[in-house]
A and B are shown apart, each in its own frame.
Chain A
Amino acid sequence: MPISLRVNGRPHTVDVDPQTPLLYVLSDDLALRGPKFGCGLGQCGACTVIARGRAIRSCVTPVSAVEGADLVTLEGLGTIESPHPLQRAFIEHQAAQCGFCLNGVILTAKAFLDQNPKATDAQIRQAMSGVLCRCFTNVRMLDAIKQYREKTA
């Protein structure tokens, strides 16, 4: 059944089972590299996308639930040539190892700080408590997130 989506400002129509998790539509049908399958259970954050301004777990969200919503994936923030300030902060802080988690880390932090621009360090950690980085690049990632907070507050 055709479903209309708006992803990174562009309209798409996909013909899929409406119960299909959004993740598979984004990563397979739309061939986006940002959202990733980490656990399929909403436990790690790798699949995060921003929908209606909030970070959601696309691996447990049926595609039909976001029909018509504005969706933003990591590629929708910025480019290599012109990264979003939060992406730039991650690059400046060299805040990655394998990078597989970056999608969830950056989008979760962005959605949270957009809503809570004056969040304390403890509040940021609380917001990030459902996101994993198994390379444990935590220190640099939190430094990058705080830099973004300082620059945008």
Chain B
Amino acid sequence: MTAKRRSTQSPLSTQRRFGSAAFASTAFKDGTRQTRREFLKGAGGALVVCFSASALEPFAFAQGRGGAGQRSSVDARLLDSWIGIAADGSVTAHTGKCELGQGIQTAQAQLIAEELSVAVDRVKLVMCDTAICPDQGTTSGSQSHPANFNHANLALACATAREALIDLAATRLAVPRDAIVVERGVASVRGDRNKSVTYGELVGGRSFSLPVNANATRKQPREWTVLGKPMPRVDLPAMATAQLEYVHNVRVPGMVHGAVVRPPEVGAALEGVDEASVRNLPGFIKVVVRKNFVGVVAEKPWQAIRAAAALKATWSAGSGLPRQADFYDYLRTQPSRDTLVVDSQDVDETASRAATIVKATYRHPYQMHGSMGSSCGVADVQADRITVWSSTQSAYPTRSGVATLLGVPVERVRVVFTRGSGCYGINGADTVAYDAALLSHGVGRPVRVQLSRKDEMAWENYGFAYVIDQQVALDASGTIIAWHHESWAPSLGGRPGYDTPGNVVTGMLAGFEPAPFAPRSPAPAPAGRFNNGANAAPSYVTGCVAGVCGGTGTVKSERVLTHTIRSPFFTGPLRSPSRLQNTFAHESFIDEIAARLKADPVAYRLRHLHDPRLIEVVKAAAKAAAWESRPSPRPSPGAVAHGRGIACVLYEGDNGYCALVAEVDVDRASGGIAVKRLVASQDCGPISSPDGMKNQIEGGALQGMSRALGEAVTWDDKKVTSVDWRTYHSLTLGADLPAIESVLINQPDGEAMGAGETTITLVAAAIGNAVFDATGARLREVPFTPERVKAALENV
């Protein structure tokens, strides 16, 4: 759960391919087909396809993080794979990073408009259609922006195209290329605007037939006219007027409807299905069984749901579940896979000469993605080609997963990304795509499946539960001289990737195993470079591995040991996976240490930080919140206590700086926490879309608040019991809201970093620290329910 995906090189292909014969065309839902060739032609003019393999050789394919192994038939090294310009000058761009609600469609449109010097409304973006878009792996990890905005991929393709257009214009207008200026899709001669030619006239409808140029010159942030400015979401008018097509709205000719029947208990196996129990129901078509996968297909959605409910299926007893009340203790006793993130090998020796040792243990429950819309997929499985419409974050891996599931060559499968309900990591989109594929395969017709609320919630890949022990050694002056962090977290399955359909429930039910769990203890010594991708190491240590220090802090004696345990439930990346849980423990603990020393929480943090950008966000948040320098707590008398707390992080060790100040009221009698104000400061490099960034900060702050105050997966001895919005407690639109303020720190010359997961990482710690400031009561277990707050108040 800590590994960061790095790109891999694939062999150069020697000719442009449009995919296999089975996939040379674009499937439209009205049943018509269009080839990519026609697709470009449709934008006007003839298409010329030619280039030589040698043209590619000098070009080293640059892949941003979060990229992938290029298993797509679309060659990302070619400019035409990314950008097409029609005769009317409109731009069609193909990207492997898709809109999940985070605003990346708009930000990418801004990027394209900026780098190509065209108007934003002339840009059409095709996202994550595996037949016509470059494979950029999964849209995840706050990496879409870095992957396509740093000097690679989409950004580089746009810069290459602009330079090619300038070259063509210089030739056409018979002037040197540095005499050409480009603006809004028109190239003209500097000082003589009458001499001009449009992009449409230069290349309209024809291909560039060029490799993406790794040395193409990007625009400097100071030249930006589109990027860096607030840009209204390009998709919002359609969303607000119900015109936007979600995957839930996809309709294919001949489409019928499926509903799945999941096991009644975790680990139950199918013993038998009585198809006769539903055969006479209206609209019934078929029961489809594959090992423990059961689904029903009917003509209409309600008929499928009724049939699934009526189907008589018998199941074995389940495997049983560990008691939830003892679960954190249970985790410590299980076989584990151990990893040392960092180990200076002197922690115990340093601790032995400490003036003071401070210890604490923190607990975080499994939480859900809990998508607003239960997940939906549509599949059309035919003998020679398979099309899946899915809101998966992983169109290309899902393509492979469907091929594996159905036992067909991957070239036969096409995944067409279609917008879905917000997913925050991995909702049921992947698994329901498999459901639809299995059912369509079973009936030979296109099938749409939408999960029930219970099936979405009882079987999704939850965010990890954690129990974390923290221990520091302090010298006589109160400076931290050693830090030991040890965590236990359960894991099972995850994102299916290219070849592990068993990582989600449908794949497992159909007979595929989750990624294997291999216990390993003791942990090997840290090797390679310091990797703080899961924020397992606190911000206050030096992070030195093999003599190279990648941390943001000053504590040299450091040991970070993680234990991964096989989870009884599927787990997966939930917005700030592990980073949030670890940071809750780190940032609560540093606060406890500061309180022990009667030190101001901001000053005490700064005393142990050396990274100037992390220091800057801490100071910026404190300043914006008018932070009063003093130790915590300062319990206020009366029925309602008021306090403030801070937390900070460099997300994933290198992907976005953030600090957050929370102000809370605590009702002593009820134990209720009212968050009154959240002030976030954020530095994620050059700001492309300021309002989009603010929207992410605000949403992250409130989602973090919902998770900190109420959200937890619950279960009994057989099954998950948090299966709807009565049993899983999310804040609603009726919630009292804090004032949310954002301080955006622009770093025009830096690399782009992620902005979607930073704020949420800090919310639980900042609120917990504020509750402590208000009352002296320390909250070490999420969620901070009134019962837990009251119990903590009694311990003060």
A binds B: yes
Q: Using a CB–CB distance below 8 Å, which chain A residues touch chain B? A: 16-17, 20-21, 24, 27-28, 31-34, 36-41, 43-44, 46, 73-75, 77-80, 83, 87, 90-91, 94, 96-103, 105-106, 125-142
- Given A91-B236, A132-B372, A135-B703, does the pair A80, B101 have CB atoms closer than 8 Å? no
Instruction: Point out the residues of chain A lying under 8 angstroms from B372, CB to CB.
Output: 38, 44, 46, 98, 100-101, 132-135
| CB pairs A–B below 8 angstroms (6 shown) | A125-B733, A129-B734, A134-B372, A134-B730, A136-B700, A136-B703
Nearest CB of A to B231, in Å: 10
Neighbour of B302 across the interface among A21, A87, A135, CB < 8 A: A21
User: Does any Cβ of A come within 8 Å of B135's Cβ?
Assistant: no
Q: Is B725 touching A102 in the complex (CB atoms < 8 A)?
A: no
429-485 of chain B: CB within 8 A of chain A: 450, 452-453
6 new A-B contacts, CB < 8 A, other than A83-B240, A128-B734, are: A24-B300, A43-B726, A44-B725, A74-B241, A94-B691, A130-B734
Q: Which residue of B lies closest to A35 (CB)?
A: B242
In the assembled complex, the Cα of A29 lies from the Cα of B732 at a distance in Å of 30
Q: Is B239 touching A102 in the complex (CB atoms < 8 A)?
A: yes
Q: Which residue of A lies closest to B696 (CB)?
A: A97
Q: Is B698 touching A139 in the complex (CB atoms < 8 A)?
A: yes
Q: Is A99 touching B699 in the complex (CB atoms < 8 A)?
A: no
Instruction: Point out the residues of chain B lying under 8 angstroms from A17, CB to CB.
Output: 282, 302
In the assembled complex, the Cα of A14 lies from the Cα of B703 at a distance in Å of 41
In the assembled complex, the Cα of A80 lies from the Cα of B705 at a distance in Å of 33
User: Does any Cβ of A come within 8 Å of B523's Cβ?
Assistant: no
Nearest CB of A to B99, in Å: 9
- Given A99-B235, A137-B698, does the pair A90, B420 have CB atoms closer than 8 Å? no
User: Does any Cβ of A come within 8 Å of B226's Cβ?
Assistant: no
Q: Is A96 touching B239 in the complex (CB atoms < 8 A)?
A: yes
Q: Which residue of A lies closest to B726 (CB)?
A: A43
Instruction: Point out the residues of chain B lying under 8 angstroms from A24, CB to CB.
Output: 300-302
Q: Is A38 touching B237 in the complex (CB atoms < 8 A)?
A: no
Q: Is A96 touching B233 in the complex (CB atoms < 8 A)?
A: yes
In the assembled complex, the Cα of A16 lies from the Cα of B730 at a distance in Å of 35
In the assembled complex, the Cα of A75 lies from the Cα of B737 at a distance in Å of 29
User: Does any Cβ of A come within 8 Å of B244's Cβ?
Assistant: yes
Instruction: Point out the residues of chain A lying under 8 angstroms from B453, CB to CB.
Output: 38-41, 43
- Size category, B interface: 35 or more
Q: Is B242 touching A90 in the complex (CB atoms < 8 A)?
A: no
In the assembled complex, the Cα of A74 lies from the Cα of B724 at a distance in Å of 25
Q: Which residue of A lies closest to B730 (CB)?
A: A132
In the assembled complex, the Cα of A98 lies from the Cα of B748 at a distance in Å of 28
In the assembled complex, the Cα of A128 lies from the Cα of B732 at a distance in Å of 8
Nearest CB of B to A20, in Å: 5
Q: Is A75 touching B698 in the complex (CB atoms < 8 A)?
A: no
Nearest CB of B to A118, in Å: 19
User: Does any Cβ of A come within 8 Å of B277's Cβ?
Assistant: no
Instruction: Point out the residues of chain A lying under 8 angstroms from B235, CB to CB.
Output: 99
Q: Is A75 touching B725 in the complex (CB atoms < 8 A)?
A: no
Neighbour of B733 across the interface among A33, A34, A128, CB < 8 A: A128
User: Does any Cβ of A come within 8 Å of B232's Cβ?
Assistant: yes
Nearest CB of B to A111, in Å: 14
User: Does any Cβ of A come within 8 Å of B100's Cβ?
Assistant: yes
Neighbour of B422 across the interface among A37, A97, A130, A140, CB < 8 A: A97
Instruction: Point out the residues of chain B lying under 8 angstroms from A105, CB to CB.
Output: 733
Instruction: Point out the residues of chain B lying under 8 angstroms from A44, CB to CB.
Output: 372, 725
User: Does any Cβ of A come within 8 Å of B374's Cβ?
Assistant: yes
Neighbour of B421 across the interface among A77, A100, A128, CB < 8 A: A100
Nearest CB of B to A65, in Å: 15
User: Does any Cβ of A come within 8 Å of B183's Cβ?
Assistant: no
- Given A37-B373, A83-B237, A106-B240, does the pair A43, B724 have CB atoms closer than 8 Å? yes
Instruction: Point out the residues of chain A lying under 8 angstroms from B706, CB to CB.
Output: 136
Q: Is B302 touching A20 in the complex (CB atoms < 8 A)?
A: yes
Q: Is A132 touching B243 in the complex (CB atoms < 8 A)?
A: no
User: Does any Cβ of A come within 8 Å of B776's Cβ?
Assistant: no
Q: Which of B162-170, B246-254, B616-624 contacts A (4 or more CB under 8 A)?
A: B246-254
Instruction: Point out the residues of chain B lying under 8 angstroms from A32, CB to CB.
Output: 242
Q: Is A98 touching B233 in the complex (CB atoms < 8 A)?
A: no
- Given A138-B735, A139-B702, does the pair A28, B300 have CB atoms closer than 8 Å? yes
User: Does any Cβ of A come within 8 Å of B238's Cβ?
Assistant: yes
In the assembled complex, the Cα of A47 lies from the Cα of B237 at a distance in Å of 19
- Max chain A C-beta neighbours (<10 A), residue from B241, B245, B302, B732: B241
User: Does any Cβ of A come within 8 Å of B126's Cβ?
Assistant: no
Q: Using a CB–CB distance below 8 Å, which chain B residues touch chain A? A: 100-103, 232-233, 235-246, 248-249, 251, 257, 282, 300-302, 370-374, 419-422, 424, 450, 452-453, 691, 695, 698-703, 705-706, 724-726, 730-737, 740
- Given A24-B300, A125-B735, does the pair A97, B695 have CB atoms closer than 8 Å? yes
Neighbour of B373 across the interface among A46, A77, A126, CB < 8 A: A46
In the assembled complex, the Cα of A27 lies from the Cα of B249 at a distance in Å of 8
Instruction: Point out the residues of chain A lying under 8 angstroms from B373, CB to CB.
Output: 36-38, 46, 100
Instruction: Point out the residues of chain A lying under 8 angstroms from B233, CB to CB.
Output: 94, 96
Neighbour of A73 across the interface among B242, B733, B740, CB < 8 A: B242
Q: Which residue of A lies closest to B453 (CB)?
A: A39
Q: Is A136 touching B236 in the complex (CB atoms < 8 A)?
A: no
- Given A37-B248, A133-B733, does the pair A97, B101 have CB atoms closer than 8 Å? yes
Q: Is A130 touching B732 in the complex (CB atoms < 8 A)?
A: yes
- Max chain B C-beta neighbours (<10 A), residue from A21, A73, A134, A139: A134
In the assembled complex, the Cα of A27 lies from the Cα of B725 at a distance in Å of 22
- Given A43-B725, A43-B726, A91-B237, does the pair A37, B732 have CB atoms closer than 8 Å? no
The 4 closest A-B pairs by CB, nearest first: A129-B734, A98-B101, A99-B239, A98-B422
Instruction: Point out the residues of chain B lying under 8 angstroms from A134, CB to CB.
Output: 370-372, 421-422, 424, 703, 730
Q: Is A99 touching B301 in the complex (CB atoms < 8 A)?
A: no
In the assembled complex, the Cα of A37 lies from the Cα of B421 at a distance in Å of 11
Q: Is B302 touching A136 in the complex (CB atoms < 8 A)?
A: no
Q: Is A87 touching B240 in the complex (CB atoms < 8 A)?
A: yes
Q: Which residue of A lies closest to B235 (CB)?
A: A99
Q: Is B699 touching A97 in the complex (CB atoms < 8 A)?
A: yes
Nearest CB of B to A7, in Å: 12
In the assembled complex, the Cα of A99 lies from the Cα of B102 at a distance in Å of 10
In the assembled complex, the Cα of A98 lies from the Cα of B240 at a distance in Å of 11
Q: Which residue of B lies closest to A97 (CB)?
A: B101
Nearest CB of A to B601, in Å: 26
Q: Is B725 touching A132 in the complex (CB atoms < 8 A)?
A: yes
In the assembled complex, the Cα of A100 lies from the Cα of B235 at a distance in Å of 12
In the assembled complex, the Cα of A134 lies from the Cα of B704 at a distance in Å of 11
Q: Is B100 touching A98 in the complex (CB atoms < 8 A)?
A: yes
Instruction: Point out the residues of chain A lying under 8 angstroms from B691, CB to CB.
Output: 94
Instruction: Point out the residues of chain A lying under 8 angstroms from B701, CB to CB.
Output: 136
- Given A20-B302, A134-B730, does the pair A75, B241 have CB atoms closer than 8 Å? yes
In the assembled complex, the Cα of A24 lies from the Cα of B304 at a distance in Å of 11
Q: Is A34 touching B301 in the complex (CB atoms < 8 A)?
A: no
Q: Is B236 touching A75 in the complex (CB atoms < 8 A)?
A: no
Instruction: Point out the residues of chain A lying under 8 angstroms from B103, CB to CB.
Output: 97
In the assembled complex, the Cα of A43 lies from the Cα of B374 at a distance in Å of 13
In the assembled complex, the Cα of A126 lies from the Cα of B373 at a distance in Å of 22
Q: Is A126 touching B242 in the complex (CB atoms < 8 A)?
A: no
In the assembled complex, the Cα of A103 lies from the Cα of B450 at a distance in Å of 18
Q: Is B243 touching A75 in the complex (CB atoms < 8 A)?
A: yes
Q: Is B420 touching A98 in the complex (CB atoms < 8 A)?
A: yes
Q: Which residue of B lies closest to A79 (CB)?
A: B241
Instruction: Point out the residues of chain A lying under 8 angstroms from B736, CB to CB.
Output: 125
Q: Is B450 touching A37 in the complex (CB atoms < 8 A)?
A: yes
Q: Is A74 touching B695 in the complex (CB atoms < 8 A)?
A: no
Q: Is B734 touching A80 in the complex (CB atoms < 8 A)?
A: no
Nearest CB of A to B345, in Å: 44
In the assembled complex, the Cα of A136 lies from the Cα of B243 at a distance in Å of 22
Instruction: Point out the residues of chain A lying under 8 angstroms from B724, CB to CB.
Output: 39, 41, 43
Nearest CB of A to B31, in Å: 16
Q: Is A36 touching B301 in the complex (CB atoms < 8 A)?
A: no
- Max chain A C-beta neighbours (<10 A), residue from B251, B698, B726, B732: B732
In the assembled complex, the Cα of A134 lies from the Cα of B450 at a distance in Å of 18
In the assembled complex, the Cα of A138 lies from the Cα of B101 at a distance in Å of 14
Q: Is A142 touching B240 in the complex (CB atoms < 8 A)?
A: no
In the assembled complex, the Cα of A17 lies from the Cα of B610 at a distance in Å of 68
